Amino acid sequence: MFTVNRRTLCAIALAAGVMALPAAAQAQAQLNVNTALTRDDPLYKGLERFRDRVAERSKNQLTIRIFPGSQLGKDEDVLEQARAGANVAVVVDGGRLAVFVKEFGVLSAPYLADGFQGVRKVVTSPLFETWVAKLRTTSGHQVLSFNWWQGDRHLITNKPVTVPADLAGIRMRTPGAPVWMETIRAMGATPTPMGWGEVYPAMQQKVIDAVEAQHPATVGSKLYEVAKHVTKTSHFNLITGIVTSAAWFDKLTPELQKILREESLAAGDYASKLTEDSLVGFEETMKKNGMTIAEVDKKPFIDATQGVYEKLGYSDLRAEVLKILK
């Protein structure tokens, strides 16, 4: 369940707009895609490609609208709207889907795979498709694709960090899913869940001391204005997907369903390549704005977080995933 606030009510009304149209007007279906990212993020450019290719291939029978900055609400709220059958989708990580199907949480576990090509093997595998089918049955969500790579996540702090012990007493923002929370706790910090849009003012007002994020999000939200150090721990390899309503998806023709999934996958690859190509430029931007970017020995962080898999019951699943990666 979720708390209904004014933003959520507005989002539901917007998402339900197409459903309220007369039958003749519904021939032109619409999907409203929500993302916490800004328009400058490489993944946003991938969403634009997704929108344009779907419109072209469907001859405008299916249109996509993009809502950056979480305009339709928090990820969890949009997932609830999708469960209710609304024509919404959200760019979301596996940790948030783990509340419905536990297996998705392993995608957000620490030090699982290296880089985009590694994790892509997992999210395009037959094993992953069994999770997708289970999600449809369990929660009524439809995964369109899950190959939207946002990069490695690093520590953003106001003091240098070289080993996990340096994080003692640090209040660090992270998403509220168990796998994220337990990883940050294992690294030595105190996990503090909050929406991404709240991070900048929380850092500014010292409600939190640190955040962990990928380079595009760090630059997109101008965290270099409220933090001084980036420690490249690469503790999460952030892979996300586009998830919508299974009930809404099932109302589309088989051809439109095919277009939606194919173009979502193609756009995910496109956006992920843009992310790969942009990382050096993001680091240059952060340095120009006064941030120190430190390479550290990752082994102490790897060692500190390995117990997360056993604690959350992911040991056997991790072994299956490692078989795919090899």
Q: Within this chain, do residues 229 and 158 fall inside the same structural domain, yes or no?
A: yes
pLDDT for res 25: 36
- Radius of gyration over alpha carbons of the chain, in Å? 19
For 11-37, what is each residue's pLDDT tens digit? 444 544 444 433 333 446 999 999 998
Q: Which domain holds residue 194?
A: 154-236+281-320
* Tally of domains in the chain: 2
Q: Within this chain, do residues 93 and 221 fall inside the same structural domain, yes or no?
A: no
Whole-number Å distance between alpha carbons of 171 and 188: 10
Q: Within this chain, do residues 194 and 50 fall inside the same structural domain, yes or no?
A: no
For 250-280, what is each residue's pLDDT tens digit? 999 999 999 999 999 999 999 999 999 999 9
Whole-number Å distance between alpha carbons of 281 and 231: 17
Strand 141-157, strand 229-245: pairing:
antiparallel
Sign (positive or negative) of CA dihedral 195, 226, 108, 271: positive
Task: Tell whether 193 is covered by a domain.
Answer: yes
**CA atoms lying within 13 Å on the CB side of residue 291:** 26
Looking up residue 62, the CATH number of its domain turns out to be: 3.40.190.170
In which residue ranges of the chain is pLDDT below 50?
1-4, 6-13, 15-27
Helix (H) or strand (E) holding 13: helix 6-15
Tokens of 62: 């299916």
pTM recorded for the entire structure: 0.86
Task: Tell whether 326 is covered by a domain.
Answer: no
Task: Tell whether 52 is covered by a domain.
Answer: yes
Q: Within this chain, do residues 206 and 243 fall inside the same structural domain, yes or no?
A: no
Whole-number Å distance between alpha carbons of 42 and 279: 10
Whole-number Å distance between alpha carbons of 71 and 156: 25
Whole-number Å distance between alpha carbons of 241 and 243: 6
Whole-number Å distance between alpha carbons of 67 and 78: 12
Task: Tell whether 297 is covered by a domain.
Answer: yes
Q: What are phi and psi of 85, to 5 degrees?
A: 95, 5
Residue 29 β-bridge partners: 62
Q: Within this chain, do residues 215 and 310 fall inside the same structural domain, yes or no?
A: yes
Whole-number Å distance between alpha carbons of 79 and 74: 9
Q: Give the SS3 label for residue 236.
A: strand
Q: Within this chain, do residues 265 and 298 fall inside the same structural domain, yes or no?
A: no
Q: Give the SS3 label for residue 36.
A: coil
Task: Tell whether 90 is covered by a domain.
Answer: yes
